[in-house]
Structure 1
Amino acid sequence: MGRPPRRDLDQCSFCESNLKVNLRLCNECQIWNIEEHVFTCKNQADVNLDALSYVKPPEPLRGKTVPGLDRFEDLNYISAEEYGARRTCMLCREIYHGTLMKKLQIDEGAEVRLSPVRPFAAGKLLFDLKNKGEPRGQSPYTVECVLPIILEQRFGNTSNEEGSAAAVAYSTFTIELILSYDHDGQSLLEVTPWDRSFFNTNFIKKWLSYCQEAHDYDCNETVAPMSLPSGFRLIDTLKRCVIIPPMLK
């Protein structure tokens, strides 16, 4: 993730300052060295990307731009081979290996490039704890996160009504990472894969606790139309049993 293009947004003190150099990160990944910048900067290049695009890949672009999808073209893409060559950068290395583990369907003969965008944190962030005045320890601080990645495939030149143009297809996938920072979130110490085959039940306890403390009964109202499959069931955490969702009764 290189320095993002300037947009008409609130200025970010981290974008405009000289960041502390982390020798275990390449030049383009230096902004990952500060936790607050990685997760909250309003000047990130993906600021206008629709979050739903991460879970529902857009239709492939074949030779011409489709309205509403040109935002993917504005990102900075790097070849998968280049990520693999950056062995000294702990983030690029995990992006490369995480991509390989996904076993993506790549069209034969396509030129493949990747563009990571803003990660989504699964738990509380350090700057949230700071703002609330909660106590913090002096040991390294970890953040589990999901990193969406845009996959670009180019297929050379094709002919269309507007002349000759490269056929381009965009799709999306995610990799899961654990970012380890120093106790103050000002230095990235380590990047490791996050094995999500084992779920941390403490997350559910924290979510339920926060909901009980901060939300009212409006929390039970749906925010969008829902269509559930036949046979779908929920766990009633008060009665401790499996129930049929009210909308299916």
Structure 2
Amino acid sequence: MVQLVEDYIPLNKYSRSGLKLKAKRGIVLHYTASPGASAKNISKYFASLANQKSSDGDKGRYASAHFSVDRTTIYYSLPDDELAYHCGSKTYTKQALQLLGSYPNNSTVGIEMCIEKDGSIHEDTFNQVVDLAVYLIEQRGFPEVFFTHKEVVGWKECPLPWIKHPEEYERFKQKVHQRLYPMQDQAVTEDEEDMDKVLAYAEWAWNELDKYIGDAYNDQIIHEWTWVEKVRKRKLTYGELLMLKVLIDERRRKGIQGQGQSS
């Protein structure tokens, strides 16, 4: 079970407005850009922004994130159903506007990853963020939809370690998915005959799959209501899930809607 250190920022103008999220549409990954800084230090920094003294022509700095993660600790700086100032911008990418809405701070949870003195993300920090993402999806109602800060705004090189090494970002997404759907990897190695077997999922996993497929249908990534019905009737097979996962993820990545009658 993920362990969180609750360290809520007091309500203030610059880092915790107290406004509720309008929806839960995605999880945004950041890095602290402060080599060697701990999760506690990052949380305290966000809280310190409340003490800014604005002057003529200076609007002050607005910044915060829901979570800060280092090798050993996850600091919980404001409730995950509240708005944080973690990915605001004057411009957003097409994909972010399509999936997150016109103001992504209103629909996302932000995670700050601490970096080592050499600028890298330690493997222990990486695994802590995987644990946190699984928790947010399984228990807090967020979808399995990930964005880097750069994927939201288009111009900011954040999180820099994953911008430089995109394979690490892919590894993160794969590891979270494997944790959420442990039977799926097994299906890949089974005989073709096993591809026709109905998924042996726990109830919570079926519920997450229902949301995943339902969101794809609502977003017109797929057009066939049959897929939603199969999930709700607990009739989807391993082979069908693998096909849908590849189809949905690729179409979301390219920002296109479903075409034809077979999907």
Higher strand share goes to which structure? 1
Higher helix share goes to which structure? 2
TM range (shorter): under 0.3
With structure 1 as the length reference, what TM-score do the two structures score?
Answer: 0.27
With structure 2 as the length reference, what TM-score do the two structures score?
Answer: 0.26
